[in-house]
Amino acid sequence: MENYWQEFSGKSRKKLQREIDEISAPGLSVRENCFDDVQTLLDMNLRAFGDRSYFLDERFRGGFLSLMGMLHDRGWLRVTTVLLGGEVAAVDVGGVYNNAYTVLAGGTDGRFQGVAKVINLQHLAWACRQRVESVDFLCGSFGWKDRFHLTPRPLYQIKLAAGQICHAAHAVAETVGDVA
């Protein structure tokens, strides 16, 4: 983690540390691998995004919970909960597989502005301590990845030979209609 911090200029490092200290002022603690916090994540996400939340769709939510159960059963699930002043401020879930840590989803309590910075740094510190080969946050950058010196990259890429049709994508396109 020390090597990672050295990627920041001294001024940026101090500014970020001040922000983290301000956010953490009520008292910061981290809870790990409490499976019950997955429901808290869903609740926070629904409150924050309302009708735009993926979790509003029962099929998506059910599939997500099934994935969480499968990751848990195989020992791959990682639930990270940040508490500020004893209250749950953020919950993220991810999976560790093949020495790669992928943060799959998260939720934050709107009362704790900036807590996403805190939980993201928790993920990076944990990954460094575990010597995980890579960490992927599976989300759009919105500028924060550059600020945190992270390299956006596609997690998966589908390559087809010329003229080949991806039947799964074709079936989805028929179901939902032409998106273009």
> Does the 2-176 domain belong in CATH 3.40.190.10?
no
3-state secondary structure of 152: coil
pLDDT digits (tens, 9 = 90+) for 36-66: 999 999 999 999 999 999 999 999 999 999 9
pLDDT of the residue at 39: 95
Span 106-110, average pLDDT: 93
Q: Please, where are the H alpha helices in 25-97?
A: 37-49, 58-73
pLDDT digits (tens, 9 = 90+) for 137-166: 766 555 556 666 566 666 555 666 766 655
| CB environment 150-159: b (16+ within 10 A), e (fewer) | beeeeeeeee
pLDDT of the residue at 140: 58
